[in-house]
Amino acid sequence: MSQTDSLGRTVRRVLAILLAVSFVVLMPLALMARSVAAVVFSPSVTAAVLTRQFSLAEDIRRPVFEALLGSEGEPDQGLDLAQALGYLTPEEQQQVLDSLIPPRWAQEQVEAAVYQTYAWLDSEDPHPTITLDMRPVKIHLMDSAVQASVTRVIDSWPDCTADKLAELAASLLSGKREMLYCAPPGALGDLLANLLTTGLTASVQALPADLVLTPGSQRPAEMLGLKQDLLALRAIGRWGWLVPMGMLLLILALVVRSVPDWGQWWGWPLLAAGLLSLASLLGGGWLWRGLLLEIATQAGGAMVLDLLDGVLAGLTAQVAGRQLLSAVGLLSSGIALLVMARSVRHKRAGVSGSGTNPPGDAGLETEPPPAGMFG
């Protein structure tokens, strides 16, 4: 019978050691996933990071402005924004853009788009629907700042040569909108500015109050698969930590028979997992960053990838901060349990001659003091 008991204890200890090693490996990964999920799948955190990125607001305002100028029409119609603003310094370009489309509007639309995208994850819709509120832009573009900005852009162009003037006059008389990026003198320049301002105003009037975007609408099957993958990642990030915690509970059932046992069998794995979590802060970020880049490529291609690249540093800082707190929590718990186990063991050794158990071990089985890391 004693051999059977000894064999059973050995098997339990081997299983407990395997569980402890698995906990040390899995817990840092689970906490990293939890930290990533808490940031990436939180609309408030993600929106705050996105709206702090000025380049992102620029990426949103420029396509809107290009659409207003008609540069997405036929090749010989409308303004090419890059060419029209190309003679201004970067600071002057920024001032013109700010006067036409306010930065605050872009930030508000980014925040709204983030919340609408996250709402899509929990909906039955096959693809996200993002609504841009164009009313503030329409109101803003009705004031005198529009004509002043158009005049400023035209004044930055080089003077028209005689040939260019003849070509420009012919295009204006014929009613064509072929653009020549040169500044005509006098009344002809005023006429060009008025025509461009009138065209811009007409484009603004034609805008709907709400501009509805449906990214991925042409790829419903891909978007549905992407949604399922994101929901699975969110679930793993939120609840994956329960698996390694279950391992600690199995260790408790298998080998823990006293308070010192508990401190040893839980303390060392928690301490090792905490140290591994700290080490993962140095190089583990590439795991989840690579995953985000892959998801972004799936969702929207190069444009979404460029936007994500601009905010990755902000997301990384948020994730690292949460991961650091988790690692400190593991280290503190492990050290506290090991200190408690050592204290109880010393206390037990001091009263071993009296034949009584310490109060903290009342009701637990008493075994000889274990040796080694896990006893």
Model confidence pLDDT, tens digit, residues 268-301:
999 999 999 998 887 666 666 666 666 555 555 5
Q: Which residue has the tokens 């509970």?
A: 249
308-332 pLDDT per residue, tens: 555 676 777 888 889 999 999 999 9
Residue 99 binned pLDDT confidence (cut-offs 50, 70, 90): confident
Average pLDDT over every residue of 24-48: 90
Residue 148 is predicted with a pLDDT of 82
Would you give the end-to-end CA distance of the chain in angstroms? Answer: 23
Average pLDDT over residues 354-374: 50
Q: Does 105 score more than 80 pLDDT?
A: yes
> What phi and psi, each to the nearest 5 degrees, are found at residue 210?
-125, 120
Whole-number pLDDT of residue 363: 44
pLDDT at 285: 61
Q: What percent of the chain has pLDDT over 70?
A: 73
- The pLDDT-based confidence of 236 (bands split at 50, 70, 90) is very high
pLDDT, mean of residues 33-46: 88
Instruction: Give the Cα-Cα-Cα angle 341, 342, 345 (nearest 5 degrees).
Output: 85
For the chain, domain boundaries = 2-47+219-350, 68-213
What is the crossing angle of helices 90-100 and 54-69, to 10°?
70
CB-CB contact of 31 with 277 (8 Å): yes
Of the pLDDT bands very low, low, confident and very high (cuts 50, 70, 90), residue 166 is confident
Name the pLDDT band for 76 (thresholds 50, 70, 90).
very low
Q: Which of the residue ranges 116-120, 146-150, 213-217, 358-362 would you say has the lowest mean pLDDT?
A: 358-362
Residue 266 has pLDDT above 80, yes or no: yes
Least confidently predicted of 51-55, 107-111, 220-224, 243-247: 51-55
Average of pLDDT values for 2-19? 89
**pLDDT higher than threshold 80 for residue 21:** yes
Q: Does position 62 have pLDDT exceeding 90, yes or no?
A: no
Q: Which percentage of the chain shows pLDDT scores above 90?
A: 26
Q: pLDDT value at position 4? A: 78
So what's the pLDDT on residue 238? Answer: 93
| Of 37-41, 63-67, 107-111, 212-216, minimum mean pLDDT range | 63-67
User: For the stretch 49-66, what's the b/e string if a residue is b when 16 or more beta carbons lie within 10 angstroms of its beta carbon?
Assistant: bbbebeebbebbbbebbb
SS3 annotation, the chain: CHHHHHHHHHHHHHHHHHHHHHHHHHHHHHHHHHHHHHHHCCHHHHHHHHHCCHHHHHHHHHHHHHHHHCCCCCCCCCCCHHHHCCCCCHHHHHHHHHHHCCHHHHHHHHHHHHHHHHHHHCCCCCCCCEEEECHHHHHHCCCCHHHHHHHHHHHHCCECCHHHHHHHHHHHHHCCCCCCCCECCHHHHHHHHHHHHHHHHHHHHHCCCEEEECCCCCCHHHHHHHHHHHHHHHHHHHHCCHHHHHHHHHHHHHHCCCHHHHHHHHHHHHHHHHHHHHHHHHHCHHHHHHHHHHHHHHHHHHHHHHHHHHHHHHHHHHHHHHHHHHHHHHHHHHHHHHHHHHHHHHHHHHHHHHCCCCHHHCCCCCCCCCCCCCC
Per-residue CA distances from 324 to 31, 91, 157, 280, 327 (Å): 10, 40, 54, 10, 5
Better-predicted residue by pLDDT, 287 or 348: 348
Q: Supply the pLDDT for residue 55.
A: 55
Which carries the bigger pLDDT value, residue 163 or residue 141? 163
CA 182 to CA 169: how far, in whole Å? 12
Q: What is the mean pLDDT of the chain?
A: 79
366 pLDDT higher than 50: no
